[in-house]
Amino acid sequence: MPYYCYMVECADGSLYTGWSSNPYRREKAHNQGCGARYTRMHRPVHLVYAEELPDHSTALKRERAIKQLSREQKIHLIHSPSNQLSKLCP
């Protein structure tokens, strides 16, 4: 089963990075207040990035790597070809 590393943009413009087996379902959970504490405080959120990964371990490692990036680097990633969001069906 594939996993995804994803980013959502919060209402205040901040970016939150996480992982999930279904990023659209996770976006919905964040918006319903069932997600991370950070996103509960910064709703609504909008899914802006998703990257498919082969397994859970790889997704966790990628999440950590993305969280280490600067905001500018994250924005560049959102606009890069590695953003597979357009290939996913909501």
pLDDT 10s digits, 48-72 = 999 999 999 999 999 999 999 999 9
Cα separation of 66 and 78, whole Å?
11
Name residues whose C-beta falls within 8 Å of residue 42's C-beta, 6 or more positions apart in sequence: 10, 11, 12, 14, 16
Contact (CB, 8 A) for 31 and 47: no
Amino acid occupying residue 6: Y
Domain 3-87 matching CATH 3.40.1440.10: the answer reads yes
Predicted model pTM:
0.92
Domain spans of the chain, in order of start: 3-87
pLDDT of residue 6: 97
